Chains A and B, each alone.
Chain A
């Protein structure tokens, strides 16, 4: 039930996104491509944080895992196109890891700050492993990951070389991921997650196994993060230990907070805006840029605690809530 202005804003956003590459030039197209990957990553965190109320402070672990898997496969497996296998594993392994963690943590009622701390430790362990293990590239990381390509049987296929091609591929992938997430949060499962976030005990005595459902949400979130990591490896051509870093885990939280928690679109808005800002400011303020980006974050969170998208959705020009009778029972919805 979007209002007219919100629709227009959304349509304008899509048009701008489509028209960008020729206008923006190579540098900014590449920057935006990366921001789209980060947007998918941020959206995966938003699923867990914004819709299940669980903050993962080590979300980079799943991104890094996806990226490293793709890079390793590219180096170790030759003779056939390993990228499909890479994507599959980059989703699957984070899902399994999240499932195991969720099983041990949520079922033992480890939630809130304690969960957050444990996730932080997990990503630091990963960072230690990849930086110290020579086979995984050590501090140098792994190089030589091929770019985006779609290969069919008998030599058919496309390789996406130009910045614009890569950008459009990522735009399509982002849209698919977004629609998938939107479907999830609007499904009955999403409704129970919203109830769990509101009051876990209450949801429990309605007959829902909240530990199980939260674990499922964590697994979906981790799988999507893994996919974004895989995309990143193909996009940048290499992976390195900072992908598992605390900084990166913090960055993604900032993107979600700036864009708006629990909005999905906000993840992209936050990722694009913060990265763009970073790039522009660091151009002429080599030292102070981090300070300014930090300041921007504080100001946003202080004045717009719902983030940019969350605040826009509350502004008065949005249509008022429909009158009670207009309940319009969407099929399977409401």
Chain B
């Protein structure tokens, strides 16, 4: 579904990604692990075309998307759910969702009941401004908005960040269900090892702009690995 090959990205003189290569298969959940500053967010931004690759390439469903403008990449079926406050605070919940559905009223209408099945709380807050939601609700709105666009691939940047433990579990459950039921693939960037292990099929560990380790998520228990690459 997604192939990233020898991707190099730099901010000015500073190389952030140094030849990153990995792939995400259809219906697969892949986790990218690594410390702060390893280049995880830059990787997602490069896939979306928000930060331009210096060399290397990104292929999605067999098509080279490296040079495409961001809005076309999104239209091809990649939903990016960035880190932190990433909804439109001054727009209502319903408007946020409509934007996610790229204004296709049919898609919006058809998908809403399903989406509210995953996120019942949003159905109760439709006319409320996005900015007035709690942190957990905003995260749910961001995920819901990613879903109504009917993506084939979700890019999730630390969906568990800053949430209380019970919400982390809820979000994890929802992502799991969504990917299972809708057959969506996901690329998950995480620092929370338990979260990633519970969700992902495979993992890659990034350090200093390169992939240093990869394997099956179920095997991601080696204390040595965790200490070496992930512990702060």
A interface residues (Cβ-Cβ under 8 A, vs B)? 188, 191-192, 194-195, 198-199, 201-210, 321-322, 324-329, 332, 334
Report if A205-B74 is in contact (Cβ < 8 Å); known contacts: A188-B98, A191-B91, A199-B88. Answer: yes
Candidates A188, A322, A329; contact of B94 at CB < 8 Å: A329
In whole angstroms, how far apart are the Cα atoms of A328 and B217 in the complex?
Answer: 45
Across the interface, do A204 and B127 meet the contact criterion of CB distance under 8 Å? no
Candidates A198, A202, A206, A326; contact of B149 at CB < 8 Å: A206
Across the interface, do B69 and A209 meet the contact criterion of CB distance under 8 Å? yes
Q: Which residues from chain A contact B100 at a C-beta distance below 8 Å?
A: 206
In whole angstroms, how far apart are the Cα atoms of A105 and B48 in the complex?
Answer: 23
In whole angstroms, how far apart are the Cα atoms of A199 and B96 in the complex?
Answer: 12
Across the interface, do A207 and B89 meet the contact criterion of CB distance under 8 Å? no
Residue-wise interface mask of B (74-98) relative to A, using a CB-CB cutoff of 8 A (1 in contact, 0 not): 1100001010001011111011001
Across the interface, do A206 and B74 meet the contact criterion of CB distance under 8 Å? yes
Across the interface, do B99 and A192 meet the contact criterion of CB distance under 8 Å? yes
In the assembled complex, B105 has its CB within 8 A of some CB on chain A: yes
Q: A198-B88, A207-B75 are in contact. List 9 more A-B contacts (CB 8 A).
A: A188-B98, A188-B103, A191-B103, A202-B88, A205-B48, A206-B145, A324-B124, A327-B127, A334-B127
In whole angstroms, how far apart are the Cα atoms of A191 and B91 in the complex?
Answer: 9
> Chain A contact residues: over half helix, strand or loop, or mixed?
helix
Q: Which residues from chain A contact B94 at a C-beta distance below 8 Å?
A: 327, 329, 334
Closest to B112 in A: A329
In whole angstroms, how far apart are the Cα atoms of A327 and B98 in the complex?
Answer: 14
In the assembled complex, B41 has its CB within 8 A of some CB on chain A: no
In the assembled complex, B172 has its CB within 8 A of some CB on chain A: no
Across the interface, do A207 and B126 meet the contact criterion of CB distance under 8 Å? no
Q: Which residues from chain A contact B72 at a C-beta distance below 8 Å?
A: 207
In the assembled complex, B102 has its CB within 8 A of some CB on chain A: yes
Across the interface, do B98 and A191 meet the contact criterion of CB distance under 8 Å? yes
Report if A205-B95 is in contact (Cβ < 8 Å); known contacts: A194-B90, A324-B125, A327-B126. Answer: no
Closest to A213 in B: B71
Q: Can you offer 7 A-B residue contacts whose CB atoms are under 8 A?
A: A194-B88, A199-B88, A204-B70, A205-B71, A205-B74, A207-B71, A209-B71
Across the interface, do A198 and B90 meet the contact criterion of CB distance under 8 Å? yes
Closest to A323 in B: B127
- Closest CB in chain B relative to A299 CB, distance in Å: 27
Across the interface, do A324 and B71 meet the contact criterion of CB distance under 8 Å? no
In the assembled complex, B128 has its CB within 8 A of some CB on chain A: yes
Closest to B76 in A: A207
Closest to A188 in B: B103
Report if A326-B127 is in contact (Cβ < 8 Å); known contacts: A202-B88, A205-B80, A334-B94. Answer: yes
Across the interface, do B124 and A207 meet the contact criterion of CB distance under 8 Å? no
Across the interface, do A322 and B90 meet the contact criterion of CB distance under 8 Å? no
In the assembled complex, B50 has its CB within 8 A of some CB on chain A: yes
Q: Which residues from chain B contact A204 at a C-beta distance below 8 Å?
A: 50, 69-71, 74
Candidates A194, A198, A208; contact of B102 at CB < 8 Å: A208
Q: Which residues from chain B contact A205 at a C-beta distance below 8 Å?
A: 48, 50, 70-71, 73-74, 80, 82
Q: Which residues from chain B contact A206 at a C-beta distance below 8 Å?
A: 71, 74, 99-100, 102, 145, 149
Report if A321-B88 is in contact (Cβ < 8 Å); known contacts: A208-B102, A334-B95. Answer: no
Q: Which residues from chain B contact A207 at a C-beta distance below 8 Å?
A: 71-72, 74-75, 102, 149
- Closest CB in chain B relative to A331 CB, distance in Å: 10
Most buried by A among B89, B98, B99, B128: B99
> A-B pairs with the 7 shortest C-beta distances?
A207-B74, A327-B126, A334-B94, A327-B127, A207-B75, A188-B103, A204-B70
- Closest CB in chain B relative to A210 CB, distance in Å: 7
Q: Which residues from chain A contact B69 at a C-beta distance below 8 Å?
A: 204, 209
- Closest CB in chain B relative to A197 CB, distance in Å: 9
Q: Which residues from chain B contact A201 at a C-beta distance below 8 Å?
A: 50, 70
Across the interface, do B48 and A324 meet the contact criterion of CB distance under 8 Å? no
Q: Which residues from chain A contact B95 at a C-beta distance below 8 Å?
A: 191, 194-195, 334
- Closest CB in chain A relative to B41 CB, distance in Å: 13
Report if A202-B86 is in contact (Cβ < 8 Å); known contacts: A332-B105, A334-B127. Answer: yes
- Closest CB in chain B relative to A184 CB, distance in Å: 14
Across the interface, do B48 and A321 meet the contact criterion of CB distance under 8 Å? no
In whole angstroms, how far apart are the Cα atoms of A206 and B50 in the complex?
Answer: 12
In whole angstroms, how far apart are the Cα atoms of A325 and B88 in the complex?
Answer: 20
Most buried by B among A194, A201, A204: A204
In whole angstroms, how far apart are the Cα atoms of A199 and B102 in the complex?
Answer: 16
Closest to B130 in A: A198
Within 8 A of A (CB), among B133-175: 145, 149
Closest to B77 in A: A207
- Closest CB in chain A relative to B74 CB, distance in Å: 4
Within 8 A of A (CB), among B10-56: 48, 50
In whole angstroms, how far apart are the Cα atoms of A324 and B121 in the complex?
Answer: 11
Q: Which residues from chain A contact B126 at a C-beta distance below 8 Å?
A: 324, 327, 329, 334
Candidates B50, B86, B102, B127; contact of A321 at CB < 8 Å: B127
Q: Which residues from chain B contact A325 at a C-beta distance below 8 Å?
A: 124
Q: Which residues from chain A contact B105 at a C-beta distance below 8 Å?
A: 332
